[in-house]
Structure 1
Amino acid sequence: MSAIITITDKFRNVFQRFSRFGTWFLEHQRRNLIGIFSIFVMIAFGATVLVSITPRPSNLPSTELNTPVSFGTLNKTASLTKSVFNKNNGVLELHYTISDGSVSDQDLVDISKIKFTAMTDHGGNQVTGRVVPTSNNTVVVQFKNLSHNFNAVTLTAHDKSINTATVEAPSSVVADSSNAKKTTANSNTANGKFIINRDKVSKSNTLTFATQKELEVNESNDKISAQQKLISKNTNAIVEYQKAIDQQQSSIKKYQKILAQSDDSDTQTSINNARDAITQIRTQVSDAQNNIQRAKTNISQYQKIKKQVEDGKSLLPKPTDL
């Protein structure tokens, strides 16, 4: 019974305190409402200031690595293959591979006709950039003095090659008028736009504003390494192909023993299928061997280019400022 009385007293005390608070709040209603309103105003103002001064990635999604983006009117594409940022010195390095859809040899692109324009969001007042050709189909876009809290960088690729399909030579005034809309349509180009948000770039504390020579040598080394991996994969494939041939030959021997004891047409069919499989596998072996030989030729060419660059005999265009 005493426990019930104690609980009742506690509820009574709480109610009395709440009642006194209500009375006090009504007595000072105007001051309290002004105080509450001021708190909300301060919270809203603080949130606004925080949003405006705190750098953040843009609302646009970043362009994914190794995703071809079309630009110009001649079927060219550019792919962002690597993006690295050093927040300590503000150096951002963007690696691009250019492909020409109208040319079967993707390593041959007139790199001098490829241009880039750039915009930075919260990049700072001291940021500068340049485009550095590093091979016949690759360029590196460099920025320095970029704010460590930059939001995003937007790059747009341009093809300065002349597309004769968009050039009109009308035979008369009437023809000129009728072709006006066609000319406007043909002049439209793929946007070639890349969005690089701060939170999507790789971080490096050792990245520096490298020279063109250093970038060209690094590009050659990367290409040589890629070809070496290609050789390794094709070599392993040949080993597996040979194992598959051995398995098929073993099966043929077993089928031939069965066939010697009984004239079974199904067994003969199995033998023929195994022989066809061996022929197909040997074709795959030949393809892999050709891949290896082609990769070795490429390595030899890349090593030659690397040596020329190291000797100061690069044939690439000089870097251009953005």
Structure 2
Amino acid sequence: MTAIITIADKFRNIFQRFSRFGTWFLEHQRRNLIAIFSLFILIAFSTTVMVNITPRPSNLPSTELNTPVSFGTLNKTASLTKSVFNKNNGVLELHYTISDGAVSDQDLVDISKIKFTAMTDHGGNQVTGRVVPTSNNTVVVQFKNLSQNFNAVTLTAHDKSINTATVEAPSSVSAESSSTKKTATDTNTASGKFIINRDKVSKSNTLTFANQKELEFSESEAKIAAQQKLISKNTNAIVEYQKAIDQQQSSIKKYQKILAQSDDSDTQTSIDNARDAITQIRTQISDAQKNIQRAKTNITQYQKTKKHVEDGKSLLPKATDL
């Protein structure tokens, strides 16, 4: 019974405290409402400051590396192959490979017709940028004095080549009127937009704002290394192909022994299939050998380009400011 009275007293005390608080709140209602309203205003202001001032990556997803992005009206694509940032000096380096979908030889593009425009989000007031051709199908977009807390950089590729398919030569006034409507509705220019968020770039404390000669030289070395890797892979493939031929020939010998003891048509079919497989593998070996020869030719060309760059005889367009 005593325990029940004790619990009742506790509930009575709690109720009395709430009653006193309610009375106090009503007596000071105006001041309390102003305080609550001021608190909400402070929270809203703080949130606005955090959203608009505090650096963060953009809400848009970053463009993935080595993903072709179409631009212009002539089927060209650009791929971001590398992105590196040095927060100590604000240097951002973006490497692009340009491909021409209209021709089979995609290693040769009129790089002088490829332009870029850029926007930075919280990049700072001192940031500058430029586009540096580094080979017949590669460019490097450089930024310096970029804020270490930049949110994102947006780049857009443009093709200044003239697409004659979009040029209208009307034969009459009525034809000119209809062609204008057609051009307005049918012309399809791909965006060529790249989003590079701060949290997706590689970090380097040694990256500097390299000049065009250094970038061209580095690109030639990278191309040579890539071709050497290609040679190695094709050489290994040939070894595996030869092992596969040996296996097929071993199988043929076994099938022939079986066939010598019986006239099983299935055995003859297996022999024929093995011989067809060997023919296909030899074709693959031939293709791999051609790949190796092509890579060696490319290496020779890249070595010549490298020598021209060293001698200051580059044939590429000069770097241009963004």
Q: What's the TM-score bracket when you normalise by the shorter of the two chains?
A: over 0.9
Report the secondary structure of 1:206's partner residue: coil
Could you report, residue by residue, the CA deviation over 1:25-49 in whole angstroms, capped at 9, with x for unpaired residues?
3332332222222212211121112
Aligned positions of 1:1-322 closer than 5 A: 6-185=6-185, 188-322=188-322
Cα offset, 1:68, TM superposition = 1.4
Cα offset, 1:142, TM superposition = 0.6
Separation of aligned partners in 2, 1:173 and 1:33: 72
Separation of aligned partners in 1, 2:186 and 2:23: 78
Report the secondary structure of 1:314's partner residue: coil
Whichever residue aligns with residue 312 of structure 1, its letter is G
Whichever residue aligns with residue 14 of structure 1, its letter is I
Could you report, residue by residue, the CA deviation over 1:246-265 in whole angstroms, capped at 9, with x for unpaired residues?
11111111111111111211
Could you report, residue by residue, the CA deviation over 1:64-103 in whole angstroms, capped at 9, with x for unpaired residues?
2222122222211111111111122111111111111111
**1:32–1:228 Cα change, 3 Å:** same
List alignment gaps of at least 5 residues for structure 1. none
**1:16–1:171 Cα change, 3 Å:** closer
Cα offset, 1:170, TM superposition = 3.2
Whichever residue aligns with residue 218 of structure 2, its letter is N
Separation of aligned partners in 2, 1:64 and 1:12: 66
Separation of aligned partners in 2, 1:186 and 1:264: 65
Could you report, residue by residue, the CA deviation over 1:40-62 in whole angstroms, capped at 9, with x for unpaired residues?
22111211122221122223322
Report the secondary structure of 1:179's partner residue: helix
Could you report, residue by residue, the CA deviation over 1:90-121 in whole angstroms, capped at 9, with x for unpaired residues?
11111111111111111110101111111222
Whichever residue aligns with residue 292 of structure 1, its letter is I
Cα offset, 1:173, TM superposition = 3.6
Cα offset, 1:8, TM superposition = 4.5
The alignment's TM-score, normalised by the length of structure 1, stands at 0.93
Give runs of ≥4 in structure 1 deviating > 6 Å.
none
The Cα RMSD (Å) is 1.9
Larger deviation: 216-225 or 176-185?
A: 176-185
The alignment's TM-score, normalised by the length of structure 2, stands at 0.93
Cα offset, 1:2, TM superposition = 5.6
Larger deviation: 198-207 or 6-15?
A: 6-15
Percent identity between the two aligned chains: 89
Report the secondary structure of 2:98's partner residue: strand
Whichever residue aligns with residue 306 of structure 1, its letter is K
**1:168–1:26 Cα change, 3 Å:** closer
Could you report, residue by residue, the CA deviation over 1:233-257 in whole angstroms, capped at 9, with x for unpaired residues?
2122112111111111111111111
Separation of aligned partners in 1, 2:21 and 2:148: 51
Report the secondary structure of 2:130's partner residue: strand
**1:17–1:171 Cα change, 3 Å:** closer
Whichever residue aligns with residue 207 of structure 1, its letter is L
Report the secondary structure of 2:246's partner residue: helix
Cα offset, 1:9, TM superposition = 4.4
Separation of aligned partners in 2, 1:269 and 1:187: 57
Separation of aligned partners in 1, 2:221 and 2:84: 18
